[in-house]
């Protein structure tokens, strides 16, 4: 058998890992080493990933899996290994590509930061973990990398740890995703318990669940699927665990693009896609996924309308788009979910990097303080505009095709979710036009010395803009390339897409037009809603009071419980310990007082001891 | 008869012990120690007369121990005088060298 690139796919995560180790060892005080190592290693990974992808696109199956025995207890064997399927090959390219571009971009964006080499080492560690997650061939290995990306996210959100908000955001991100991780762990344990031979690798999982042979009871299947989905909810920022993602925007902007838009948050979607057989075996679980996804999509999109921080708008947009992906998966369209993941990775990374370029230029994140940047930042404006169009779902940009596919599936499967999806698409277009027009059009506000960003930042923008514009053509209603390739044509196709295309394009254009009317032309006053229903605007601005609700319902009681437990520890446990030690000390004190050098005292003690001895000896007789 | 001698000796011993432990004057402590010794002597004599196997050996021992006690008392007094010369007091509360 010829060696194929898939066989050496294990090298892909190793490149950034080596970069991480080198930076860890030699990075201190270096300024350019990080940029160099980060870019080279991620480029090497990118090249190899593309080779693997090309290999998988050519005819003939190039599936490759390798695993070795990792742990062997009595009757319990754990394997670790990697697996290259079409899905992983696609994800590898997405991750390495965005990672490479972000590495290059950060060379410009993080230039002035004195911990730039630490930054690059974290990014390299993240790339390693994310690629490991993608390549993992069983649930346990995946879980390890799953936690590792969580750690990297924590480190990078809190990268500017001298800012209290960044510290709080890092903690929040870690704790909230941990809730999801606990669910995932339980899901894995349940799966382990019920799987024949305790196999955890995806091939066996697929075989067991795909056949619907009833090896595992239906209720157990539902539970496993839902618990795994809980993990995905935490990682992918789905309602109700979405609260960490907007706060995570305290991290450096390239990180928001890499981790919190393109790759790590998509890991939840990827996980569901990877274990799709389990979900498909349980209609209940599928419905849960679909409705949670749909609700998140509309929920986050409406919040995005009322935010003023450029990165927070994009963060809520990410939450909303991830909701779309989940919805697609829940509706049974793995192709739709993965396709949207694929296009979203490009246009959302583009938007975040564009936002970073803007922030770099004007040193604020509040869009109300920006304006008229199009004259000064031509490349950023154009690329950001393409990203906006792609996200809003305007043909022929990539977002249109993927969104269209999801909406089309929804129309055929669950018309309610179709309506939700269309509404969310409208809000998406509206907040994106608001963002775009407020930032780039109008008059410049305040004293601004905005300037175009350096080439290291604009070139990634241009590359991503091309991808955001064109990547949608791999899957259109007439051309089911991706679907066939990804699922072996097993997935149901939905015809009659014409009406959906018209509706989704119209809704997107309507949103953009409305934004134009409000924020450029001024036909509709900006305070048209806020003057009539201030409570509504405040509700959206405060994000439906989710943080406050959590504060009141969860954080406070938990903190109270914490204080209570702390008090128990302090007064009861510590009290017991102090009682013991105090008694010893008290005896010691008494002892020193007795040992005063007076022979008479010693004599008294001796006599007392003698009396005790005598009483003991004589008294024994009486019982 | 034996028990009354023994009781007498025990009372004598306890008085001596009490004096040795409680009194502050070193001379009185020495006297109390003599009292305890004599309580023992009394026991020896009592046993030699009314014991299970009466014999004169007990009385012989008593003579010995009286002699030894006299020598011991002499040594004690000598030490006491030396202490009194050094410290200027016979109050045992102030003799606390053992603690240093």
Shortest CA gap A584–chain B (Å): 22
Q: ipTM of the assembly?
A: 0.81
Is residue A350 located within the same domain as residue A429?
yes
Residue A404 counted as domain residue: yes
Residue A529 counted as domain residue: yes
- DSSP per position, A353-406: HHHHHHHHHHS--BGGG---GGGT-HHHHHHHHHHHHHHHT-TTSHHHHHHHHH
Taking the C-alpha atoms of residue A582 and residue A361, their distance in angstroms, rounded to an integer, is 65
Is residue A487 predicted with pLDDT exceeding 60? yes
Taking the C-alpha atoms of residue A345 and residue A325, their distance in angstroms, rounded to an integer, is 12
Residue A609 counted as domain residue: yes
Average pLDDT, chain A: 85
Confidence of residue A448 (pLDDT cuts 50, 70, 90): low
pLDDT, tens digit, for every residue of A235-266?
888 888 888 888 888 888 888 888 888 888 88
Distances A582 to A58, A576, A579 between C-alpha atoms, Å: 78, 9, 5
Most confident of A203-207, A364-368, B28-32, B87-91: B28-32
Cross-chain CB nearest to B96 (options A597, A604, A607): A597
Q: Comparing C-alpha atoms, which of A337, A335, A326 is closest to residue A297? A: A326
pLDDT, tens digit, for every residue of A185-207?
999 998 888 887 777 888 878 87
Q: Do B96 and A607 touch (CB under 8 A)?
A: no
Domain end position, chosen among A121, A137, A153: A137
Backbone dihedral angles phi then psi of residue A70, each to the nearest 5 degrees: -100, -55
Confidence of residue B17 (pLDDT cuts 50, 70, 90): very high
pLDDT, tens digit, for every residue of A26-64?
878 777 888 888 889 989 989 988 888 888 877 666 677
Residues in a beta bridge with A454: none
Cross-chain CB nearest to B97 (options A595, A597, A603): A597
Taking the C-alpha atoms of residue A59 and residue A53, their distance in angstroms, rounded to an integer, is 12
Is residue A349 located within the same domain as residue A466?
yes
pLDDT at A1: 44
Is residue A28 located within the same domain as residue A127?
yes
Mean pLDDT of B79-96: 87
User: CA-CA-CA-CA torsion for B71, B74, B75, B76, nearest 10 degrees?
Assistant: 120
Does B1 lie at the interface with A, CB-CB under 8 angstroms?
no
Residue B91, helix vs strand vs coil:
strand
Is residue A534 located within the same domain as residue A566?
no
pLDDT, tens digit, for every residue of A259-310?
888 888 889 899 998 888 888 888 888 899 999 999 999 999 988 888 888 8
Tell which wins on pLDDT, A380 or A622. Answer: A380
Distances A2 to A54, A62, A359 between C-alpha atoms, Å: 16, 11, 50
Nearest-by-CA chain A residue for B25: A600
Q: Which residue do the tokens 């690059």 mark?
A: A120
Is residue A574 located within the same domain as residue A527?
no
Is residue A570 located within the same domain as residue A463?
no
Residue A136, helix vs strand vs coil:
strand
Is residue A378 located within the same domain as residue A467?
yes
Residues in a beta bridge with A78: A71
Does B74 lie at the interface with A, CB-CB under 8 angstroms?
no
Question: HEC states along A51-111?
Answer: HHHHHHHCCCCCCEEEEEEEEEECCEEEEEEEEECHHHHHHHHHHHHHHHHHHHHHHHHCC
Is residue A24 located within the same domain as residue A66?
yes
B70: which residues sit within 8 A by CB, 6+ positions away?
none
**For residues A491 and A332, is the Cβ–Cβ distance under 8 A?**
yes
Residue A366 counted as domain residue: yes
Confidence of residue A482 (pLDDT cuts 50, 70, 90): confident
Tokens for B35, please give them: 């009292």
Label residue A72 left, alpha or beta by phi (over 0 means left) and psi (-120 to 50 means alpha).
beta
Count up the domains in chain A and report the number.
3
**For residues A355 and A310, is the Cβ–Cβ distance under 8 A?**
yes
Domain end position, chosen among A113, A137, A161: A137
Residue A236 counted as domain residue: no
Does B90 lie at the interface with A, CB-CB under 8 angstroms?
no
Cross-chain CB nearest to B98 (options A597, A603, A604): A597
A249-268 in b/e form (b: 16+ CB < 10 A) is: bbbbbbbbbbbbbbbbbbbb
Residue A268 counted as domain residue: no
Does A599 lie at the interface with B, CB-CB under 8 angstroms?
yes
Q: What percent of chain A has pLDDT over 70?
A: 95
Q: Do B92 and A600 touch (CB under 8 A)?
A: yes
Confidence of residue A492 (pLDDT cuts 50, 70, 90): low
Burial of A188 (0-12, 13-18, 19+ CB in 10 A): buried
Residue A118, helix vs strand vs coil:
helix
Mean pLDDT of A454-478: 84
Tell me the residue range of the domain where A484 lies: 337-541
Residues in a beta bridge with A80: A68
**For residues A214 and A194, is the Cβ–Cβ distance under 8 A?**
no
Is residue A85 predicted with pLDDT exceeding 90? no
pLDDT at B64: 93
Domain end position, chosen among A500, A519, A541: A541
- Residue B61 belongs to what H/E stretch? helix B57-87
Q: Do B20 and A595 touch (CB under 8 A)?
A: no
Does A213 lie at the interface with B, CB-CB under 8 angstroms?
no
CA angle A419, A421, A422 (to 5 degrees): 65
pLDDT at B37: 92
Residue A244 counted as domain residue: no
- DSSP per position, A211-232: TT--SS-HHHHHHHHHHHHHHH
Shortest CA gap A559–chain B (Å): 55
Q: What is the pTM of this model?
A: 0.78
Backbone dihedral angles phi then psi of residue A94, each to the nearest 5 degrees: -60, -50
Is residue A2 predicted with pLDDT exceeding 60? no
Q: Do A598 and B92 touch (CB under 8 A)?
A: yes
Is residue A450 located within the same domain as residue A578?
no
Shortest CA gap A581–chain B (Å): 26
Q: Do B96 and A596 touch (CB under 8 A)?
A: yes
Is residue A351 located within the same domain as residue A461?
yes
Is residue A623 predicted with pLDDT exceeding 70? no
**Angle between the N-to-C axes of helices A415-440 and A283-305, in degrees from 0 to 180, rounded to the nearest 10:** 30
pLDDT at A491: 66
Taking the C-alpha atoms of residue A355 and residue A439, their distance in angstroms, rounded to an integer, is 10
Quickly list H helices, A236-282.
Answer: 244-247, 253-257, 267-274, 276-280
Q: Could you give the domains of chain B?
A: 2-93 (1.10.287.3510)
pLDDT, tens digit, for every residue of A369-404?
787 777 788 888 889 899 999 988 888 888 888 888
Residue A186 counted as domain residue: no
pLDDT at B34: 92
Label residue A505 left, alpha or beta by phi (over 0 means left) and psi (-120 to 50 means alpha).
alpha
Q: Which residue do the tokens 């619907």 mark?
A: A212
Is residue A30 located within the same domain as residue A128?
yes
Is residue A410 located within the same domain as residue A527?
yes
């Amino acid at each position: 058998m010829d060696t194929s690139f898939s066989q050496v796919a294990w090298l892909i995560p190793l490149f950034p890992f080596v970069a991480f180790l080198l930076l860890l060892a030699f990075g201190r005080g270096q300024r350019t080493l990080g940029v160099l190592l980060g870019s080279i290693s991620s480029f090497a990974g990118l090249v190899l990933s593309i080779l693997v992808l090309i290999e998988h696109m050519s005819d003939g199956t190039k599936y490759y899996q390798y695993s070795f025995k990792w742990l062997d207890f009595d009757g319990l064997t754990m394997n670790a290994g990697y697996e290259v399927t079409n899905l992983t090959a696609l994800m590898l390219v997405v991750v390495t590509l965005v990672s490479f571009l972000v590495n290059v971009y950060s060379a410009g964006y993080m230039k002035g930061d004195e911990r730039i080499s630490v930054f690059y080492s974290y990014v390299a560690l993240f790339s390693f973990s994310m690629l490991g997650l993608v390549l993992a061939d069983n649930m346990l290995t995946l879980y390890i990398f799953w936690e590792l990306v969580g750690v990297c996210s924590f480190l990078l959100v809190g990268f500017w740890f001298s800012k209290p908000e960044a510290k709080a955001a890092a903690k929040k991100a870690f704790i909230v995703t941990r809730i999801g991780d606990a669910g995932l762990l339980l899901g894995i344990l349940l799966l382990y318990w019920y799987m024949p031979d305790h196999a955890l690798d995806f091939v066996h999982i697929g075989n067991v669940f795909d056949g619907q042979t009833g090896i595992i009871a239906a209720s157990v299947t539902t539970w496993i699927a839902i618990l795994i989905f809980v993990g995905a909810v935490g990682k992918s920022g789905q309602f109700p665990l979405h609260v960490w993602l907007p706060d995570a925007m305290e991290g450096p902007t390239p990180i928001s693009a890499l981790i919190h838009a393109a790759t790590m948050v998509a890991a939840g979607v990827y996980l569901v896609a990877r274990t799709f057989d389990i979900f498909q075996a349980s209609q209940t679980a599928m419905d849960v996924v679909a409705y949670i996804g749909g609700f998140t999509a509309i929920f986050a999109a409406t919040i995005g309308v009322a935010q003023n921080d450029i990165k927070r708008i994009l963060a809520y947009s990410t939450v909303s788009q991830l909701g779309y992906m989940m919805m697609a998966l829940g509706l049974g369209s793995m192709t739709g979910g993965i396709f949207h993941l694929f296009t979203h990775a490009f246009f959302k990374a583009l938007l975040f990097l564009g936002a970073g370029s803007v922030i770099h230029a004007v040193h604020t994140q509040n869009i109300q303080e920006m304006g008229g940047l199009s004259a000064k930042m031509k490349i950023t404006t154009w690329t950001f505009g393409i990203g906006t169009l792609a996200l809003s779902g305007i043909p022929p940009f990539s977002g249109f095709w993927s969104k269209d596919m999801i909406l089309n599936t929804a129309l055929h499967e669950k018309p309610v979710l179709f309506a939700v999806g269309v509404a969310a698409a409208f809000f998406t277009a509206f907040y994106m036009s608001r963002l775009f027009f407020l930032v780039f059009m109008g008059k410049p506000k305040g004293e601004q010395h905005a300037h175009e960003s350096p080439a290291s930042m604009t070139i990634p923008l241009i590359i991503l803009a091309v991808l955001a514009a064109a990547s949608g053509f791999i899957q259109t209603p007439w051309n089911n390339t991706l679907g066939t390739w990804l699922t072996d044509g097993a997935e149901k196709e939905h015809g009659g897409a014409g009406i959906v295309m018209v509706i989704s394009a119209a809704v997107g254009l309507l949103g953009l037009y409305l934004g134009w009317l409000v924020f450029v032309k001024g036909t509709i006053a900006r305070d048209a809603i806020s003057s009539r229903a201030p409570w509504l605007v405040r509700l959206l601005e405060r994000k439906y009071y989710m943080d406050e609700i959590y504060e009141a319902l969860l954080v406070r009681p938990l903190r109270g419980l914490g204080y209570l437990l702390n008090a128990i520890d302090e007064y009861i446990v510590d009290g017991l310990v102090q009682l013991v030690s105090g008694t010893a000390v008290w005896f010691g004190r008494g002892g020193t007082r007795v040992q005063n050098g007076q022979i008479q005292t010693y004599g008294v003690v001796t006599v007392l001891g003698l009396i005790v001895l005598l009483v003991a000896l004589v008294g024994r007789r009486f019982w | 008869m034996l028990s009354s001698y023994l009781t007498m000796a025990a009372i004598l011993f306890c008085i001596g012990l009490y004096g040795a432990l409680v009194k502050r004057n070193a001379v009185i402590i020495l006297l109390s120690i003599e009292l305890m010794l004599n309580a023992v002597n009394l026991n020896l004599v009592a046993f030699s007369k009314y014991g299970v196997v009466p014999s004169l050996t007990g009385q012989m021992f008593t003579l010995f121990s009286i002699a030894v006690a006299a020598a011991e008392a002499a040594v004690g007094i000598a030490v006491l005088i030396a202490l009194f010369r050094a410290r200027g007091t016979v109050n045992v509360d102030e003799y606390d060298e053992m603690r240093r």
